[in-house]
Copies of this chain bind each other. A is one copy, B any other.
Amino acid sequence: MMVKARAPRNSLTRERVVACAVTLADRDGVPALTMRALADELGVRPMAIYNHVANKEDILDALVDHVFGEVYLPVADGAWREELASRSRSLRLALGRHQWATALMETRVRPGEATLTNHEAVLDVLLSNGFSLSAAAHAYAVVDAFVYGFALQEAMLASIDLPSSAQTIRDAMDLTKFPRMAQFAGEHVMQPGYSFADSFEVGLAMVIDGAGALR
């Protein structure tokens, strides 16, 4: 835990605080994101941060909004399928870059500017392309459920590194008790070329086709 050089007065801003918090969360995880660690990284005393954010909750809210700020904004006059797919891929990648995001979203309920802007753009794509309000509601809910859930699964798998640990799991587990998992691990997951990520496009096609059927 090395202490950074002291930052000059008036150099601290809300943006710097949030950007630094994102970096810290990416690098060390949310549990390590303490006001003290953040202050240290910013070259400032913990209480200085409170001049720019209300409290830690405020920072966590901003963290989630920051992630949405990285997500592609679909345009309403494009082909709706491709726009929806692009924004879904972009959302998945953003959630993948910031593995803490899905878990954090669950407790954050104050949506920020970037979140609302993205939400608005998606709704505009749907409503401008023949979706009724009801169809748009279903389509949006289903597509986002898939993207969030896929990102969640990838985050779960990321900390375990499936291929390399599958062998360990297979050894440790009672194979007579979980024969399907043993088969699945040995004959599929551990084979060269397997990638969980490949299922993303498969599922995305399903939910976007399904959305099209609602239109």
Q: Mark A residues whose CB is within 8 Å of B.
A: 99-100, 102-109, 116-117, 119-120, 123-124, 127, 133-134, 136-138, 141-142, 144-150, 152-153, 155-156, 159-160, 173, 177-181, 183-184, 187-189, 194, 196, 198-199, 202-203, 205-207, 209-210, 214
Number of copies: 2
Q: Out of B156, B177, B187, name the residue touching A133 (CB < 8 Å).
A: B187
Chain B residues with CB below 8 A from A137, complex form: 184, 188-189, 194, 196, 199
Nearest-neighbour CB distance to chain B for A25, whole angstroms, equals 12
| Among A117, A141, A145, A210, residue most surrounded by chain B Cβ atoms (within 10 Å) | A145
Report how far A133 CA is from B138 CA in the complex, Å: 31
Contact A145 B149 (CB under 8 A): yes
Determine how close the nearest CB of chain B comes to the CB of A192; give it in whole angstroms: 14
User: Residues of B contacting A203 with CB < 8 Å?
Assistant: 138, 141-142, 145-146, 207, 210
Contacts of A102 in B (CB 8 A): 102-103, 106, 152
**Can you list 11 A-B contacts with CB-CB less than 8 angstroms, sorted by A residue number?**
A103-B106, A106-B156, A117-B178, A123-B184, A127-B184, A138-B202, A145-B149, A147-B149, A152-B152, A207-B207, A209-B210
The distance in angstroms between the C-alpha atoms of A102 and B177, with both chains bound, is: 26
